[in-house]
């Protein structure tokens, strides 16, 4: 009889533990959905161009100017807009060294729309919900729910660089 009680108590304890909710999730509320602005009209801005991006420490300047050294390209976010349709591609910084790299660059960009000064774009793994601030010239909002900003970027290339073989 004692041999039968030990397995029964063990099974009962395991069943209780399996049905008891985790205390880590008690009272935890699901993440609120990202508010997406309604499409209310046509685009009021043209966002086509090269931008620099970040999530903290947004610069105050209306435009950032970078003067990279020869054979170096800073990270950029390129936006192409046609009417109310917008596409964007993120390119990491790179240094041309004259050798082939095995780094894959995705040709697929984020796609979406512009309505007034609001921008919504998405691609696999990324969803941008942004608003164009006409005073600063910046885009502000979220990337997958986290803070995100973009500032127009002008890249001034140096002259007299020796091309990479």
Encode pLDDT of 22-40 as tens digits: 444 444 444 445 566 666 6
Residue 75 has pLDDT above 90, yes or no: yes
Would you kindly state where each structural domain of the chain is located, as residue ranges? 49-94+110-155
Q: Output the pLDDT for position 162.
A: 84
Q: Which of 23-27, 94-98, 117-121, 153-157 has the lowest mean pLDDT?
A: 23-27
Q: What is the structure's pLDDT at 95? A: 87
Q: Which class in CATH covers the domain with range 49-94+110-155? A: mainly beta
Of 14 and 85, the one with more pLDDT: 85
- Residue 68 Cα distances to 38, 43, 72, 90, 159, angstroms: 40, 33, 6, 18, 11
Q: What are phi and psi of 70, to 5 degrees?
A: -55, 145
Q: Tokens 């009209």 appear where? A: 41
Q: Across residues 37-59, what is the average pLDDT?
A: 88
Q: How confident is the model at residue 147 (pLDDT cuts 50, 70, 90)?
A: very high
Q: Which residue did the predictor score with more confidence, 46 or 31?
A: 46
% pLDDT > 90, the chain: 57
Instruction: Decide if pLDDT at 8 tops 50.
Output: no
């Amino acid at each position: 009889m004692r041999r039968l009680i030990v397995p029964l108590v063990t099974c009962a304890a395991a069943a209780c533990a399996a049905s008891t909710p985790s205390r880590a999730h008690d009272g935890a509320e699901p993440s609120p959905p990202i508010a997406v602005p309604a499409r209310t009209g046509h685009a009021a801005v043209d966002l086509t161009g090269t931008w620099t991006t970040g999530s903290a420490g947004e610069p105050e300047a209306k435009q950032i100017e970078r003067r990279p050294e020869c054979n170096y390209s800073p990270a950029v976010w390129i936006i192409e807009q046609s009417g109310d349709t917008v596409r964007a591609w993120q390119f990491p910084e790179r240094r041309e060294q004259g050798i082939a790299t095995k780094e894959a660059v995705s040709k697929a960009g984020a796609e979406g729309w512009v309505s007034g000064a609001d921008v919504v774009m998405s691609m696999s793994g990324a969803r941008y919900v942004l608003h164009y601030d006409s005073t600063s010239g910046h885009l502000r909002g979220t990337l997958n729910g986290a803070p995100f900003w973009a500032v127009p970027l002008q890249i001034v290339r140096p002259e007299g660089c020796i091309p990479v073989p």
